[in-house]
Amino acid sequence: MKIIKQSLLIVMSLAVLISCKNYNSINTKELSLKKSYKDKFYIGTAINQRQIEDNNSLESSLISKEFNSITAENIMKSMFLHPKEDTFNFDLSDKYVAFGEKNNMFIHGHTLIWHSQLAPWFKLKKDSLEMAVAMESHIKTIIEKYKGRIHSWDVVNEALNEDGTLRKSVFLNTMGKEYLTLAFKWASEADPNLDLYYNDYNMTDLKKRQGAISMIKHIKEQGVKIDGVGMQGHWHIDTPSIEVIEQSILDYAALGVKIAITELDISVLPNPWGLVGAEISQRFENNKLMNPYPKTLPDSIQTKLADRYNDIFKLFLKHQDKISRVTFWGISDKQTWLNNFPIKGRTNYPLLFDRELKPKKAFYSLLELPKNN
């Protein structure tokens, strides 16, 4: 009986140690995400200004240990990088690139042409020639600044409506659909060795997928280089289905382009009115039904999230020959934009590390997966 009690105490002590295990307590010789997937595809994360400036040693340690690719969350969008037509702010982007180089990472640029978070002066361009001159200067100045240091770019971001038609942005309104082809042309002229991507959300939806395929075919038919599609993974714990994600990967790969899974996070919260995607202009009211886990995530949902990530990454490994990069949109639940989208003040849990940077079940579910796939 005494032996049984001692055994139970040992088991309970181990359980407590495991449950309290945080990132710093992980042996540096243990597996990391980037080590587990090193022969498969890059494992990336988006980093914010605080992380770029290396203001938190624990976060910096986690980023350098777990990831071998980075994306700038916000600082390279035009309103920050090119706020006035004659003014570029390269201070933070210089630090971003230096951070990636210091940690021997694949460095991705996000994003050159986007209708949102747009520098206001772009909107003053009223005809096609003015806009073309502005776009070409913007694209080539930034790419040439980091030539040979940034390895790939989202050249155009979110140019499609949900029905697959082109979004009526200031670029489309002034230049017509050829602004897309020209953006990729100017980017490739500035650095022929770059990987050039079109990036968008809801790229698994049939109509939007068809629109993206048509767009990419058109660009390629003009003899212009486009290397890949960024499928934003702003997905839900239940949707889209694995079958739909797989068909989307196959459809894009059939175009002869690479697939990057970008902005990956899995929301565990209810979607108001069935909202999908990442249209940041949409906002809704907060209430208890929309914010069911304000303090902590129940174990049952933790397990469901881990299973969802496991199923998704099994699919990625199945198609590893088509996938160049998988990038999480942030490093922890504390950082995630989903705490405020599409409803401000909610508590979401979409990433692999919790608010204290402790690894979640979802993290451990992915570590050993490549060994058997």
- CATH number of residue 131's parent domain: 3.20.20.80
- Which helix (H) or strand (E) segment holds residue 264: the answer is strand 258-267
Give Rg (Cα) of the chain.
22
**Stretch (H or E) spanning 211:** helix 206-221
Number of domains in the chain: 1
Q: What is the pLDDT of residue 52?
A: 97
- Does residue 170 lie within any of the structural domains? yes
Residue 113 dihedral angles phi and psi, to the nearest 5°: -120, 115
Q: Report if residue 6 sits inside a domain.
A: no
Whole-angstrom distance, CA of residue 114 vs CA of residue 55: 29
Among 85, 101, 158, 243, the active-site one is 158
| Torsions phi, psi for 30 (to 5 deg) | -70, 170
Whether the CB-CB separation of 106 and 57 falls below 8 Å is answered with: no
pLDDT, residue 168, reads 97
CA distance linking residue 281 with residue 275, whole number of Å: 12
Per the CB < 8 A criterion, the answer to whether 189 and 182 are in contact is no
- Distances in Å between the Cα of 139 and the Cα atoms of 104, 257, 298 are 25, 22, 46
Q: How far is the C-alpha of 279 from the C-alpha of 116, rounded, in Å?
A: 10
Looking at the domain assignment, is residue 14 inside a domain? no
Q: Is 306 within the bounds of a domain?
A: yes
Query: Which of the residues 59, 66, 73, 263 is marked catalytic?
Result: 263
Provide the pLDDT for residue 341.
78
* Residue range of the domain that includes 124: 25-372
The model's pLDDT over 352-368, given as tens digits with 9 standing for 90+, comes to 999 999 999 999 999 99
Could you tell me if residue 326 is inside a domain? yes
- The pLDDT of residue 292 is 87
Let me know if residue 15 belongs to a domain: no
Is 158 an annotated catalytic residue?
yes
Q: What is the pTM of this model?
A: 0.89
Over the stretch 204-231, which tens digit does the pLDDT of each residue have? 999 999 999 999 999 999 999 999 999 9
What are the structure tokens assigned to 334, written together? 């504390």
On whether residue 268 sits in a domain, the answer given is yes
What are the 10-residue block averages of pLDDT along the chain, 373 residues in total?
43 38 50 96 97 93 98 98 98 98 98 98 96 98 98 98 97 98 98 98 98 98 98 97 98 98 96 58 64 92 98 98 98 92 88 97 96 85
**CB atoms < 10 A from the CB of 291, how many?**
16
How many degrees, rounded to 5, is the angle at CA 124 between CA 119 and CA 126?
135
Q: Is position 19 within any domain?
A: no
pLDDT at 107: 98
Please tell me the predicted confidence (pLDDT) of residue 283: 52
